[in-house]
Amino acid sequence: MALEGEYATEKAGWVSDQLAKIDETGTTASVDVAGMAVVVFTYRGPKSGKLYRRPLMRVEHDGVYAAFASKGGAPENPVWYSALLANDEVEVQDGTTVVSGPVREIHGAERDEWWARGVAAYPPYAEYQEKTDRLIPVLLVEPGRA
Protein backbone atom coordinates (compact mmCIF):
# COMPACT_ATOMS: atom_id res chain seq x y z
CA MET A 1 0.00 0.00 0.00
CA ALA A 2 1.51 3.32 -1.07
CA LEU A 3 1.97 5.99 1.55
CA GLU A 4 -0.22 8.98 0.83
CA GLY A 5 -0.19 12.54 2.07
CA GLU A 6 1.65 15.82 1.87
CA TYR A 7 5.40 15.70 1.35
CA ALA A 8 7.74 17.77 3.51
CA THR A 9 10.07 20.21 1.78
CA GLU A 10 13.64 18.97 1.75
CA LYS A 11 16.05 21.48 3.28
CA ALA A 12 19.41 19.99 2.23
CA GLY A 13 20.31 21.05 -1.31
CA TRP A 14 22.13 17.88 -2.34
CA VAL A 15 19.26 15.69 -1.08
CA SER A 16 16.75 17.85 -2.91
CA ASP A 17 18.85 17.58 -6.08
CA GLN A 18 19.05 13.78 -5.79
CA LEU A 19 15.30 13.46 -5.23
CA ALA A 20 14.54 15.76 -8.17
CA LYS A 21 16.73 13.61 -10.44
CA ILE A 22 15.03 10.43 -9.21
CA ASP A 23 11.60 12.00 -9.80
CA GLU A 24 12.66 13.13 -13.28
CA THR A 25 14.01 9.73 -14.33
CA GLY A 26 11.71 7.49 -12.29
CA THR A 27 14.62 5.45 -10.93
CA THR A 28 17.13 5.57 -8.09
CA ALA A 29 19.70 4.30 -10.62
CA SER A 30 20.00 7.89 -11.88
CA VAL A 31 21.88 9.00 -8.74
CA ASP A 32 24.68 7.65 -6.60
CA VAL A 33 27.08 8.59 -3.83
CA ALA A 34 30.70 8.27 -4.94
CA GLY A 35 29.64 5.73 -7.56
CA MET A 36 27.69 3.61 -5.07
CA ALA A 37 23.95 2.87 -5.34
CA VAL A 38 21.25 4.51 -3.24
CA VAL A 39 17.65 3.69 -2.42
CA VAL A 40 14.97 6.07 -1.13
CA PHE A 41 13.23 5.48 2.19
CA THR A 42 9.82 7.18 2.53
CA TYR A 43 8.27 7.56 5.97
CA ARG A 44 5.77 9.71 7.84
CA GLY A 45 7.10 12.31 10.26
CA PRO A 46 5.73 11.47 13.73
CA LYS A 47 5.12 15.12 14.66
CA SER A 48 4.23 16.76 11.33
CA GLY A 49 2.43 13.82 9.74
CA LYS A 50 4.12 14.79 6.46
CA LEU A 51 5.94 12.31 4.26
CA TYR A 52 9.72 12.46 4.13
CA ARG A 53 12.00 10.89 1.54
CA ARG A 54 15.58 10.08 2.43
CA PRO A 55 18.14 8.76 -0.06
CA LEU A 56 20.34 6.25 1.76
CA MET A 57 23.01 3.82 0.65
CA ARG A 58 21.65 0.67 -0.95
CA VAL A 59 22.20 -2.25 1.42
CA GLU A 60 19.87 -5.10 0.46
CA HIS A 61 19.88 -8.84 1.12
CA ASP A 62 17.12 -11.28 0.12
CA GLY A 63 14.65 -8.42 -0.41
CA VAL A 64 15.32 -6.83 3.00
CA TYR A 65 16.76 -3.29 3.14
CA ALA A 66 18.97 -1.79 5.83
CA ALA A 67 19.32 1.83 6.93
CA PHE A 68 22.50 2.82 8.75
CA ALA A 69 22.02 5.80 11.10
CA SER A 70 25.64 6.91 10.71
CA LYS A 71 25.32 10.68 10.28
CA GLY A 72 28.92 10.61 9.09
CA GLY A 73 30.13 9.50 12.52
CA ALA A 74 28.54 12.40 14.41
CA PRO A 75 27.97 11.91 18.16
CA GLU A 76 24.18 11.85 17.71
CA ASN A 77 21.81 9.88 15.50
CA PRO A 78 20.30 11.52 12.42
CA VAL A 79 16.77 12.92 12.89
CA TRP A 80 15.33 10.31 10.52
CA TYR A 81 16.43 7.47 12.84
CA SER A 82 13.70 8.00 15.46
CA ALA A 83 11.19 9.02 12.77
CA LEU A 84 11.69 5.72 10.94
CA LEU A 85 11.21 3.76 14.16
CA ALA A 86 7.98 5.64 14.87
CA ASN A 87 6.42 4.25 11.65
CA ASP A 88 4.48 1.01 11.32
CA GLU A 89 5.36 0.83 7.64
CA VAL A 90 8.11 2.38 5.50
CA GLU A 91 8.51 2.41 1.72
CA VAL A 92 11.79 1.75 -0.07
CA GLN A 93 12.36 2.63 -3.72
CA ASP A 94 15.12 0.57 -5.33
CA GLY A 95 15.52 1.41 -9.01
CA THR A 96 11.94 1.59 -10.28
CA THR A 97 10.60 -0.89 -7.72
CA VAL A 98 8.86 0.30 -4.56
CA VAL A 99 8.33 -2.08 -1.64
CA SER A 100 7.01 -1.49 1.85
CA GLY A 101 7.24 -3.17 5.20
CA PRO A 102 7.69 -2.74 8.90
CA VAL A 103 10.90 -1.29 10.29
CA ARG A 104 12.87 -2.55 13.28
CA GLU A 105 16.23 -1.93 14.88
CA ILE A 106 18.55 -4.92 15.06
CA HIS A 107 21.16 -5.87 17.66
CA GLY A 108 23.81 -8.47 18.47
CA ALA A 109 24.83 -11.06 15.89
CA GLU A 110 22.09 -9.96 13.47
CA ARG A 111 23.41 -6.40 13.57
CA ASP A 112 26.99 -7.64 13.11
CA GLU A 113 25.96 -9.57 10.00
CA TRP A 114 24.19 -6.54 8.51
CA TRP A 115 27.03 -4.21 9.55
CA ALA A 116 29.42 -6.29 7.43
CA ARG A 117 27.01 -6.02 4.49
CA GLY A 118 26.78 -2.26 4.98
CA VAL A 119 30.54 -1.76 5.06
CA ALA A 120 30.86 -3.91 1.92
CA ALA A 121 28.26 -1.73 0.15
CA TYR A 122 29.61 1.57 1.50
CA PRO A 123 33.12 1.31 3.06
CA PRO A 124 33.01 4.77 4.74
CA TYR A 125 30.61 3.30 7.34
CA ALA A 126 33.66 1.72 9.02
CA GLU A 127 35.35 5.14 9.28
CA TYR A 128 32.15 6.70 10.62
CA GLN A 129 31.99 4.10 13.41
CA GLU A 130 35.59 4.91 14.41
CA LYS A 131 34.72 8.62 14.68
CA THR A 132 31.94 8.17 17.23
CA ASP A 133 31.49 6.60 20.66
CA ARG A 134 27.92 5.52 19.89
CA LEU A 135 27.17 2.21 18.23
CA ILE A 136 25.70 3.21 14.86
CA PRO A 137 22.14 1.85 14.74
CA VAL A 138 21.05 -0.44 11.92
CA LEU A 139 17.39 -0.59 10.96
CA LEU A 140 15.73 -3.12 8.65
CA VAL A 141 12.70 -2.76 6.42
CA GLU A 142 11.29 -6.21 5.76
CA PRO A 143 8.77 -6.21 2.91
CA GLY A 144 6.10 -8.86 3.25
CA ARG A 145 6.60 -9.25 6.98
CA ALA A 146 3.63 -8.29 9.12
pLDDT along the chain (146 residues), means of 10: 78 84 95 91 92 95 97 95 93 96 97 98 96 97 82
Please name the helix (run of DSSP H) or strand (run of DSSP E) that holds residue 112, with its range, or none. helix 108-121
Domain ranges in the chain are 13-141
Give me the pLDDT at residue 146, please.
57
* DSSP assignment letter at 76: S
User: What superfamily does domain 13-141 belong to in CATH?
Assistant: Electron Transport, Fmn-binding Protein; Chain A (2.30.110.10)
21 and 4 Cβ atoms separated by less than 8 Å: no
Distance CA 1, CA 3 (A): 6
